[in-house]
Structure 1
Amino acid sequence: MELRAAEPTARLHPGDQRAETVAEAFLVRLRQRGVDRLFVNSGTDFAPLVEAYARRHESELDLPDVVVCAHENVAVSMAHGSYLGDGRVQAVMLHTSVGTANAVCAVFNAARSRVPILLTAGRTPLYEHSRLGARDAGIHWAQEMFDQAGMLRELVAWDYELRDGAHVTDVVDRALDVACTEPRGPVYLTLPREVLAGPVPGAEARPAPARPAPPHPDPTAVARLADLLAGARFPVIVTADAGADPDAVALLDELCRRFGIAVVEHGQRHVSLPADHPLHAGYAVDAVLGEADVLCVLDLDVPWIPGNAAPRDDAVVVQCGPDPHFSRYPVRTHRADLSITTTSAALLGALASALDARSVDPARADRLAARVSGWRGRRARVLEAEAVADGPITKAALNAALAQVRPPDAVVVNEYWASAELLASTLPGTWFGTPPAGGLGWGLPAALGLQMARPDATVIAAVGDGAYLFANPAACHHAMAMHGLPVLTIVCTNAHWGAVQGSTLRMYPVGHTATGGGLSPLAQLGPVPDFAAYAEASGGLGLRVDRRAQLGPALEQAMRTVRHERRPALVDVRCV
């Protein structure tokens, strides 16, 4: 399936659909620009929008479908997941300053993942009286901020306030075009209530502007990289996000087969190369850094941890991507002997053409395939070792059990325990990993958005108990019931924050935490709730598993529930 950001349709004028208010013109323009869903968490600032939807029986306006969400993190993360599912830019409407504040963590995830979302929010009414939409509740004074957009200005690519309805379509066009221009990302538009309530100006909207073509790699730089790859003994491409563009997956597959280049999916966030590809070198870059003489970093922010490992001194490191040095990161000093500004698909296509004109050792592909296949043996040994009848449930055991019941085309949204290596996805668009920013609470609502974008897919949210709690689970299960989203949620429940404890032990391997013999109070989550009850309270199936012998049957029952009954299911797995 091709995933593309939505392009404008032929109908370009709100006047063509008899919009009477700026709110109606705003909504019509969203639909005209291909925005089919508006994820909302409503407030008093929504009155003109509420009225616009109520008037549809009379106006017959074509407006985006409303997706009600009971928390702002759920709304923005669902929009994030929907974009991952169908490649179409999404829109969210938040409630003034307080709603924006609740959404900042989710916006952080979208920004670092370069996901285009039009974030809109009301703002406290501008006037105290004498205008339709002026302040009419006590809360309208306390909620106003001097700079509401300042909360997320560092994270968005653009922010603005709609000051007059005369240019509502121009502002929507500008917002969507900036969001979808590489490097993509969220944008933020505030909508005063008085402006939304105003009449539509008489001027017709102009046709939507053409979006800029994506960056194409410099031919001289491509030639230099092709020379390096052609002459290398052990060339490696390392990536986590190249597969965000489905076209790049087939291009990378062909490039590696034809010219003998290994690929590491380090910190995999998308399927960039099928796991069964002979030149797939696994999921840990450290395994190849000692041998790689040309390391091409393809759209990856942290290709190695500088304090733990580094490329060879005599290796050539090439950084490639829409923003190859990740300029929005305050510090990033990874080596770059050559940098190329490009999309993944554009670079891979240009490289294939350039390598066609060069001599490449025909035996290199087979030699590298034998050298990088070791991770497959490790995977097989782990899966075999974990196929035991009973005992405590480890994360490896949970992965092994899921590998047994997961259909090849099922989509995994991972926020904690799912192992890219053990699950070894082969189909593009079937694996989505935690965003680089790591804002907890993303995985479950992102899975809901993906399910909405792909209604026929089997979608699995693999989360830990901390990530599940941060996701506002009651709001997530409410959304599943309201919008008919049969997501399978698997919670690895170990009653602690492993990242907190683990980071402490890495810093202080022989410190008091390490020698104390217990879990730090700062890493404890117990006692954890009965997570299965959340699913049951909203009409889903809820199961709890305490022993390994129960795991397989529980996952099979849950899988049948989501695939055949089309009903949500949750399996609360008590892990060690």
Structure 2
Amino acid sequence: MPLKTITEGTVSDAYLALLADRGIDYFFGNAGTDFAPIIESFSKAQALGTSTPRPMLVPHENLAIHMALGYYAVTGRPQVVMVHVNVGTANALNGIINASRGNIPVIFSSGRTPYSETGDCEGRRTREVHWPQEMFDQGALAREMVKWDYELKDKSVLETVVDRAINIAMTEPRGPIYLTLPREPLAEKFDSFDYTSPSRHATPTAAWPDPNAIDRLASIISNADNPLIITQDSGSDVNAVAPLAALSDRFAIPVIQRKPRYLCLPSDHPMHLGFDPDPYLDYSDLVIVAQCDVPWIPSVKAPSEGSTVVHMGPDPIFRDYPIRGYEADMAITGAITPSFQMLDDALAGLEAGAKNSIETRRKRITGLRKIMHENWAAGLEKSKNSSPMSQSWISHCISEVKDDDTILITESAFSMPQMNLTRPGSFISGGAGGGLGYGLGMSLGAKLAAPDRMVICTQGDGAYMYGNPIPAHYVAAAEKLPTLTVIMNNEQWGAVKRNTRAMYPDGYAVKSNREDLTFFEGGMAFEKSMEVTGGYGERVEDPAELPKALERAATAVGDGQAAVLNLQTV
């Protein structure tokens, strides 16, 4: 087997070399005293010209995790994040929860307080904080939200640990892992260290669905009068968009993208029927749930009693969710792209026999789409002059200023109907676990992955504050990652307010018209945050001024400045 050798080094040297050899591009770090061996190894590698991932200082853990998630969302390659022992791990958990529920792989790591109080080990305890920071089980902080956790003991298992971490993170369903790295093994010296290159620990291929199950589903589709597809995450693999478009068009199956986290179907596709399945559930006799964890809210709306329900995806029952009681007449396990491809192939052989029902359905869906677009246009016309600005008008204006190459990352009450999105991979919404503050980090990670593409991030004002804006704008300036952040500033946590009103429609909070703990006071001038790093900031109150303001901000980004627009919204 081919070997590479490192001479006269430390385990930390070998660790970074292995990461580079295995295709890791970036090492997003938020450092503490546990990083000393890592920092020394980076400096040594730079002096000697040896390969490591590129180190990048990110001065908040939540930001670092979400940068890695954004980078993966664009490239499909997982990256390394390292934080400071238990406290850094705790700060990063918001992002790890999002990664876990979003099935996004990241090699999440932290130092560990040294365990040696005395002796001549170079990694031993040397500071007062090394005693109170130690935990009995640091891995327990993250264990429920990662696929695997491990503490490195010594160099004999280093190659296995690195390869296993990457393999487990990248095996479907994908997700984060957690590796703790005590100072003692990182600082351990060796005369010679050999490792295989390329790795002989291959990541398992994605599981393909049972062909018999796919054939059975194709038969059910061919006999259905009103099939419906509901998806959310299928577009996480950009290669899944084309086969979904093909099969839905072949058999005239409308597709609903319910609270999508990726673009699953182009907005101009003839089977794109919007973002809310509820109006269609009563008469759909077949509902196919394709990689969607919450296809409907059972207490609000559910498929009709006699309908057939089929779930598809790498984990169609979402086994990591403690309670999820959606009925399933079939549950087909398999990576979503080959599942769509195989289903389209199976449907091709049944198309001729179902021609009449397909064409009848196609005409009906064409009519529904016409009504849908008329309603969307009417809503925009009604709200375009509203002050404060409406979500519909803002979304429409962003759609007008962007191009097909733009990457749009949303963390706000965004109006998807007003967006023209056609390119797979051009839309990302990363808060799968409900952890706010992901937008700024994911937009920076996306820009790092695609420096020649415009990246626009939309956020509510609360999400912007959660996203660690000063650290984010620092990274944008330091690493030359100009993005456009559009803040929809309604001076409140709208989701909290709406849910309180929904739960207590006749309650005291509604009658007071001012729900405590949901309002932000003071009219925050978020645009001024850009003064810290020399970016472009502008406040916009008049809806008529928004198109020009977006053009000015886009020009600033094109000139290399990060930009923030602070929009006064409802």
Which TM-score band applies after superposition, normalised by the shorter structure? over 0.9
- Determine if the alignment matches structure 1 residue 227 to structure 2 residue 223: no
Deviation at 1:13, TM superposition (A): 4.4
Gaps of 5+ in 1: 1-10
Match of 1:557 in 2: 552
Task: Classify the secondary structure of the residue corresponding to 2:341.
Answer: helix
- In 1: Cα distance, 2:205 partner to 2:191 partner: 32
Distance 1:225 1:533, change over 3 A: same
Partner of 2:449: 453
Separation (CA, whole Å) in 2 of partners of 1:460 and 1:113:
21
The answer to whether structure 1 residue 573 and structure 2 residue 567 are counterparts is: yes
For 2:532, give the aligned amino acid.
Answer: A
- TM-score (norm. length: structure 2): 0.96
Q: Indicate the residue corresponding to 2:18 in structure 1.
A: 29
Structure 1 position 364, deviation (Å): 4.3
Aligned with residue 506 of structure 1, among 502, 505, 529: 502
Question: Who is 2:387 aligned against?
Answer: 391
C-alpha change, 1:223 and 1:552, in structure 2 (3 Å) is same
Match of 2:279 in 1: 287
Alignment-derived partner of residue 524 in structure 2: 529
Corresponding residue number in structure 2 for 1:20: 9
Select the residue among 258, 268, 285 that pairs with 1:266.
258
Separation in structure 1 between the aligned mates of residue 190 and residue 247 of structure 2, nearest angstrom? 53
The match for 1:109 among 78, 86, 98 is 98
Label 1:93 to 1:503 Cα distance change in 2 as closer, same or farther (>3 A): same
* Number of the residue aligned with 1:3: none
Aligned-pair identity in percent equals 38
In the TM superposition, residue 434 of structure 1 has moved relative to its aligned partner by 4.0
Contact kept, 8 Å, 1:461 with 1:489, in 2: the verdict is yes
Alignment of 1:540-555 (within 5 A): 540-555=535-550
Residue 344 of structure 2 is aligned to residue 352 of structure 1: yes
- Are residue 377 (structure 1) and residue 371 (structure 2) matched? no
Paired residues for 1:208-219 under 5 Å: 208-219=200-211
Query: C-alpha displacement at 1:436, in angstroms?
Result: 2.3
Which of 333, 336, 348 aligns to 2:328? It is 336
Deviation at 1:375, TM superposition (A): 2.3
Task: Tell me the distance in 2 between the aligned counterparts of 1:552 and 1:560.
Answer: 12
Does the CA contact (< 8 Å) of 1:452 and 1:485 recur in 2?
Answer: yes
Q: Does 1:443 align with 2:433?
A: no
Which residue is 1:473 aligned to? 469
CA drift of 1:365 comes to 5.3
Aligned residues: 562
Moved more, 455-464 or 539-548: 539-548
| In the alignment, structure 1 residue 186 sits paired with structure 2 residue 176 | yes
Q: CA deviation at 1:49?
A: 0.9
Q: Which range moves more in the overlay, 406-415 or 326-335?
A: 406-415
Deviation at 1:255, TM superposition (A): 1.1
Q: Residue 566 of structure 2 aligns to a residue in which SS?
A: strand
Q: Is the 8 A contact 2:64 2:81 kept in 1?
A: yes
Q: Does 1:62 align with 2:55?
A: no
| CA–CA separation in structure 1 for the residues paired with 2:186 and 2:483 | 36
Deviations 1:391-422 (A, max 9, x none): 33122222232222222321111011322211
1:66 match: secondary structure:
strand
Structure-2 separation of matches of 1:368 and 1:29:
57
- Structure 1 pair 400–357 and aligned structure 2 pair: CA distance change class (3 A): closer
For the Cα contact (< 8 Å) 2:149–2:177, is it kept in 1? yes
Unmatched segments (≥5 aa) in structure 2:
none
SS of equivalent to 2:305: coil
Letter of the 2:184 partner, please give it: E
State the Cα deviation string for residues 54-85 of structure 1 (Å, max 9, x = none). Answer: 11244321000112100000000110111011
Distance of 1:14 and 1:288 partners within structure 2: 59
Inter-partner Cα distance in structure 1 for 2:107 and 2:168: 10
**Mapped partners of 1:407, 1:69: distance in 2:** 29
Listed one character per residue, the Cα deviations across residues 164-190 of structure 1 (whole Å, up to 9, x for unaligned) are: 111111100000000000010000000
Counterparts in 2 of 1:99 and 1:376: CA distance versus 1, 3 Å: same
Alpha carbons 2:7, 2:192 under 8 Å: kept: no
- The answer to whether the 8 A contact 1:464-1:491 is kept is yes
Q: Where does residue 100 of structure 1 map in the other structure?
A: 89
Alpha-carbon distance in 1 for matches of 2:66, 2:533 = 20
CA contact (8 A) 1:441 1:471 kept: yes
User: Would you say the 8 A contact 2:7–2:190 is kept in 1?
Assistant: no
Does structure 1 residue 136 correspond to structure 2 residue 126? yes
Task: Report how far residue 202 of structure 1 moved.
Answer: 4.3
The partner residue of 1:237 within 229, 232, 239 is 229
Q: Aligned residue for 1:84?
A: 73
Alpha-carbon distance in 2 for matches of 1:375, 1:456: 35
Alpha-carbon separation, structure 2, partners of 1:216 and 1:14? 35
Q: Secondary structure at the match of 1:226?
A: helix
Q: Distance between the aligned counterparts of 1:260 and 1:400, measured in 2?
A: 28
TM-score, normalised with respect to structure 1: 0.95
2:102/2:430 contact within 8 Å kept: no
SS in 2 for 1:533: helix
Task: Show the counterpart of 1:5.
Answer: none
CA distance in 1, matches of 2:170, 2:77: 10
What's 1:8 paired with?
none
Write the distance in 2 (CA, Å) between the matches of 1:12 and 1:371.
Answer: 62
Q: Using the alignment, how far apart are the partners of 1:26 and 1:12 within structure 2? A: 18
**By how many angstroms is 1:473 displaced?**
0.7
The CA distance in 1 between the partners of 2:46 and 2:79, in whole Å, is 25
Please tell me whether the aligned partners of residues 247 and 347 of structure 2 are also in contact (alpha carbons under 8 angstroms): no
